[in-house]
Amino acid sequence: MTCYDCVLEDRTGTPAIGVCARCGLAACQNHARVLTSLISQVNGMGLSTGPVPARRFVCTACHTAETAY
Ligand SMILES: [Zn+2]
Ligand SMILES: [Zn+2]
pLDDT at 27 (0 to 100): 96
Count of structural domains, the chain: 1
The set of long-range contacts for 1-4, using a CB threshold of 8 Å and a minimum separation of 24, is: 1/26, 2/26, 3/27, 3/28, 3/30, 3/31, 4/31, 4/59
Taking the CA of 25 as reference, the closest ligand is 2
**What domain range is 19 assigned to?**
4-66
* Residue 9 CA, ligand 2 centroid: distance in Å: 16
Pairwise CA distance, residues 25 & 60, whole Å = 11
Average pLDDT, rounded, for the chain: 90
Residue 31 contacts residue 60 (beta carbons within 8 Å) = yes
pLDDT at 45 (0 to 100): 77
Q: Reply yes or no on whether the pLDDT at 56 is more than 80.
A: yes
**Structure confidence by residue, pLDDT tens digits, 23-33:** 999 999 999 99
* Residue 35 CA, ligand 1 centroid: distance in Å: 17
| Ligand 1 (single-atom ion) residues, CB below 5 Å | 3, 5-6, 14, 28, 30-31
* Residue 36 CA, ligand 1 centroid: distance in Å: 21
